[in-house]
Chains A and B, each alone.
Chain A
Amino acid sequence: NAGVTQTPKFQVLKTGQSMTLQCAQDMNHEYMSWYRQDPGMGLRLIHYSVGAGITDQGEVPNGYNVSRSTTEDFPLRLLSAAPSQTSVYFCASSPGGRDGTYEQYFGPGTRLTVT
Chain B
Amino acid sequence: EVQLVESGGGLVKPGGSLRLSCAASGFTFSTYSMNWVRQAPGMGLEWVSSISSSSSYIYYADSVKGRFTISRDNAKNSLYLQMSSLRAEDTAVYYCARPLSGYDNMDVWGKGTTVTVSS
Genuine A/B complex: no
Residues of chain A whose beta carbon lies under 8 Å from any beta carbon of chain B: none
